[in-house]
Amino acid sequence: MTFALALHIALAGMMLGLAAWTIAARETFAAVVGFVVYGLFLALVWVRLDAVDVALAEAAIGGGLNGVLLLGAAARLRATETPADAERPRAGLRLLAALLSATVAAALAAAVLQLPEPAPTLAPAAAANAAATGLANPVTNVLMGFRAMDTMLEKVVLLLAVVGVWSLAPDHFWGGRPGARHEADPQGTLAFLARVLTPFGIVVGIYLAWTGASHPGGAFQGATILAAMWLLIMMAGLADAPPTNARRLRLMLIAGPGVFLLVGLGGLAFGEAFLAYPAAYAKPLILAIEAAMVLTLAITLALLVAGPPERGAAP
């Protein structure tokens, strides 16, 4: 057993320990904290699996934004802990559930370990066709080129999630601002952090999105950082959440899928097929779509964390 392998086994063991803590912890808040740490370790796992784009996405979205969402919810739901505990299923059902889950996990492990060698892969095909989009990052090639339809549909899924979250608002607050008005001590740490960190965060976010064309990174990862910066500003009270009936906000929310759709239809009308890029303009078009996507994604992700409107639109 090499040192590297031992290290990986230790990493996997630590992760499983955290996963078990997430399930078994008595208090939900503690479980969520454990889950956030799990997410960060997961990003390390992705790096070891040589998937750096995914590691960035997992750290940003899976660990970061998800963590914020769940921590906020756990804090607000503290009062429901004890009544819910009374509903725990009987020990017999729990044992049965544990046995069955273990069986499924074992079947899954057996299936993965018995996958055929040599593994079938689309990497050669992806490499051979990389010239069509002119981008050097193969994952971005797949996201924006070969499987652009999935990415476009996923933008629509995000918009639908926003509509769904907004639909949960009480009728009289429709069109209002999400979340409570945050007031932080202007001389305090949170406001200081928001002021100092945000410019750096914006630069890093835009850089990550821009460099995704040729290095690990991309629109999702960069947009998440931008969303996080905006959330930080809102939480520190430096800016208020926008009213959800603002025309500009709504236009920016459809900019990403809208531009994607228009470029795709352009391909349908003038090019080879829907979502096909003409060889000469492939890179500029993709970058234009990505710019619109970053804008939309940043706002969408932040609004999803902010939640449904809880106050009126007036400031």
Least separation in angstroms between CB 217 and other proteins: 11
Q: Is 273 in the site for other proteins (CB under 8 A)?
A: yes
Q: Is 131 in the site for other proteins (CB under 8 A)?
A: no
Vertex 102: Cα angle to 99 and 108 (nearest 5): 145
Least separation in angstroms between CB 130 and other proteins: 9
# residues contacting other proteins (CB under 8 A): 138
CB-wise, 174 or 192, nearer to other proteins? 174
CB-wise, 229 or 282, nearer to other proteins? 282
Q: State how far the Cα of 69 lies from the Cα of 62, in Å rounded to an integer.
A: 10
Q: Is 58 in the site for other proteins (CB under 8 A)?
A: yes
Interface region with other proteins, contact rule CB under 8 A, candidates 3-11, 192-200, 201-209, 285-293 = 3-11
- DSSP states along 77-143: TGGGHHHHHTTPPPHHHHHHHHHHHHHHHHHHHHHHHT--SSPP-SHHHHHHTGGGTT-S-HHHHII
Q: How many other CB atoms are found less than 10 A from the CB of residue 40?
A: 15
**By the 8 A CB rule, do 164 and 156 touch?**
no
Interface region with other proteins, contact rule CB under 8 A, candidates 137-145, 181-189, 201-209, 287-295 = 137-145
Q: Is 142 in the site for other proteins (CB under 8 A)?
A: yes
Half-sphere exposure of 219 (CA within 13 A, CB side): 23
Q: Is 51 in the site for other proteins (CB under 8 A)?
A: yes
CB-wise, 179 or 201, nearer to other proteins? 179
Q: Is 185 in the site for other proteins (CB under 8 A)?
A: no
Task: Render the burial of 60-80: b for 16+ CB within 10 Å, e for the rest.
Answer: bbbbbbbbbbbbbebeeeeee
Q: Out of 94, 136, 189, 203, name the contact with other proteins by CB under 8 A.
A: 94
Q: Is 212 in the site for other proteins (CB under 8 A)?
A: no
Least separation in angstroms between CB 188 and other proteins: 26
The residue assigned the tokens 């960069």 is 222
Q: State how far the Cα of 46 lies from the Cα of 29, in Å rounded to an integer.
A: 26
Please report, as residue ranges, which positions from 97 to 126 form the binding site for other proteins (by CB under 8 A): 97-98, 100-116, 119-126
Q: Are strands 177-178 and 309-311 parallel, antiparallel or unpaired?
A: antiparallel
CB-wise, 1 or 187, nearer to other proteins? 1
Please report, as residue ranges, which positions from 150 to 179 form the binding site for other proteins (by CB under 8 A): 150-151, 153-154, 156-161, 163-171, 174-175
Least separation in angstroms between CB 13 and other proteins: 8
**By the 8 A CB rule, do 67 and 36 touch?**
yes
Tokens of 288: 């234009």
